[in-house]
Amino acid sequence: MVSTEPVTAGSGSDGSTSPPVGRGHDRVARWTYGTGLAVIGLQFVGLLVLGFFTYHRFTVGKDFGIFNQAWSQIGSGHLYPYSTIRGVPFLKNHFELIMWPVALLYPIFHSASTLVVLQVLALVGTEMVALTWVTALVRDSKLPSAWLVAISAGTVILLLASPGSYTTVVEDFHFEAFATLFAVLAAYDLWSGRTRRMWVWLALCLLCGDIGGLYALGIGLSALVVRDRRRAGATVFVAGLAWTALISLLGANVGSNLSTGYAYLAGRTTVPGGASGLWLVTKGTLLHPGRAVTVARPRIGASVRYLLNGGGIGAVTPWGFGVPLIVIGTSILQSSSIFIGLPYQNFVILPFVTFGTAWMVVWLATRARMGHARTVAAVVGVVAVLVGVATSAQRMHADVTFNASSGFVSAGDAAALGRALAATPADAEVAAPLPTIGRFAQRRYAYLLGDPSGGTSASVPVRASTVVVVIDPTIDTAFLPAGVSDDLVHRLEHQGASVLVSTPGVTAVLWHPPPGTTTLHLVPR
């Protein structure tokens, strides 16, 4: 157990910690903190540009469509929307209750680009809170101002160099960014002793769904190894565990893939949903740990890079290990390797490991009994930043250019998709392939056209009197083979469908199904 913090303040329980650049600090401290926030503010502009570029290029797919549909439906008064893209009520996907207050913005800002802005705000807000946390840490350590400047600069460099925020922006929309912001706010307040305000942030984190429960587990786990935070940490841990178990009991975590993704841990191909399935997986893991080791071992390298993005060394510190351990553990144990390869799923690791790296440097620099302590601390800090930047640089280009649509839509195809969207009636049902559905999903009925596994036998339910079929063969051949899509368009035209857009890259037709039609088959029956 960790018996002391490497600081003299910010570790009590009376909530008396002063602002990170408050009284008793010189102009250097204020300038350093303000400059750090300003630099992160510049990144905010860059992320917005990247987000709007992705959005206007129609490079938003299935996940964006799920949230776009729920946001617009709830905002229009349909308070229990069904996700036609996911095939379940939206609430049962991940139990993301936070969508309901977010949807209050829909009557004001109808454009789904609002989701882009909110996600960027959450990402940048996370980095600003992480810098605030580090600044408070160094200030309370009583180290000279030069250390504050150096550690703050290193923190900003690690945060901005990591691909995490950039890849999250181009990977559709997800509430992981929101949950990360609230988790870091909750951890910062728990560290500083503001336990009452901590519960506000923790509640908001839990409202982000089952992922929020996992983050709470990680925060509690970290606090359990800090002597004067164990009681609060235990409460946070129990809250996260109870929330995760409740969501599982309600069967409201379909998107987490518990039934099949972790069934191998129980020695099965599938497990029941809810608490019984969770129990079978837990029991199987404890009785046969070799199954987990076999699946996890080849993914260790992929998971380590997320730790190195934050300097690496922070992952072995009290506040830097809990959340990363929970997040990486649940990702590498999935039967599919997709989760460990998705940066947005692992963005939460960055702020905690980065703070942990700063914690380690401060801890070393304040060890009066250790000879040359500050020299050692400086070396550790420099190496951590260099390792973080080098690791981030290796993956930056690949992560940012490979997104939800496996590549950015060309300007010409994006323009054609824009014309198709503008010509689509608001009450029409839309059927579009997985990489194209996102912008078209702001309606009650939106369906994926084609089998994501590459099959050709999929069908689409017909629920509206007007159906618009959108095909973009330049990016979706893995989901809807070109021969099948061409035949589908010809069949619909023979039934009186009118062509909205027809270019070498994009085809969209408006079809009025004959009375009694309930299904659109990709392959004629």
3-state secondary structure string across 433-497? CCCCHHHHCCCCCEEECCCCCCCCCCEEECCCCCEEEEECHHHHCCCCCHHHHHHHHHHHHHCCC
CB 45 within 8 A of CB 123: no
In DSSP notation, 251-308 reads: T--GGGTHHHHSGGGGTSS---SHHHHHHHHHHHHHH-HHHHHHHHGGGHHHHHHHHH
Residue bearing tokens 């336990």:
195
What is the residue type of 35? T
Distance (Å, whole) CA 54 – CA 68: 15
Q: Is 507 helix (H, G, I), strand (E, B) or coil?
A: strand
Q: How many residues does the chain have?
A: 525
In this prediction, residue 362 carries a pLDDT of: 95
Distance (Å, whole) CA 310 – CA 149: 18
> What Rg do the C-alpha atoms of the chain give, in angstroms?
25
Residue bearing tokens 């946390």:
133
The two beta strands, 519-521 and 459-461, are: antiparallel
Listed residue (154, 46, 161) closest to 392, CA to CA? 161
What pTM did the predictor assign? 0.90
Q: Is 88 helix (H, G, I), strand (E, B) or coil?
A: strand
In this prediction, residue 4 carries a pLDDT of: 45
Burial class (CB in 10 A: 0-12, 13-18, 19+), 158: buried
In this prediction, residue 426 carries a pLDDT of: 93
Which pair of structure tokens corresponds to residue 61? 């797919």
CB 186 within 8 A of CB 178: no
Q: What is the pLDDT of residues 294-312, one digit of tens each?
A: 888 888 888 899 999 999 9
In this prediction, residue 481 carries a pLDDT of: 67
In this prediction, residue 486 carries a pLDDT of: 81
Distance (Å, whole) CA 422 – CA 96: 30
Listed residue (39, 35, 197, 170) closest to 116, CA to CA? 170
Task: Compute the CA torsion angle 471, 477, 479, 485 (nearest 10 deg).
Answer: 40
Provide φ and ψ at 74, rounded to 5°. Answer: -65, -45
In this prediction, residue 179 carries a pLDDT of: 97
Q: Which parts of the chain sit beneath pLDDT 50?
A: 1-4, 7-24, 454
Distance (Å, whole) CA 360 – CA 195: 24
Burial class (CB in 10 A: 0-12, 13-18, 19+), 130: buried
CB 258 within 8 A of CB 271: yes
In this prediction, residue 26 carries a pLDDT of: 64
Angle between helices 349-365 and 318-332 (to 10 degrees): 150
**Which residues, 6 or more positions from 227, have their beta carbon under 8 angstroms from its beta carbon?**
1, 2, 3, 4
Quickly count: other Cβ atoms within 10 Å of residue 146's Cβ: 9
Quickly count: other Cβ atoms within 10 Å of residue 505's Cβ: 18
In this prediction, residue 408 carries a pLDDT of: 82
Distance (Å, whole) CA 104 – CA 226: 40
In this prediction, residue 396 carries a pLDDT of: 83
Distance (Å, whole) CA 353 – CA 319: 8
In this prediction, residue 20 carries a pLDDT of: 46
Distance (Å, whole) CA 358 – CA 139: 12
In this prediction, residue 350 carries a pLDDT of: 96
In this prediction, residue 13 carries a pLDDT of: 36
**Which residues, 6 or more positions from 440, have their beta carbon under 8 angstroms from its beta carbon?**
65, 421, 424, 430, 432, 446, 468, 470
In this prediction, residue 28 carries a pLDDT of: 78
CB 226 within 8 A of CB 187: no
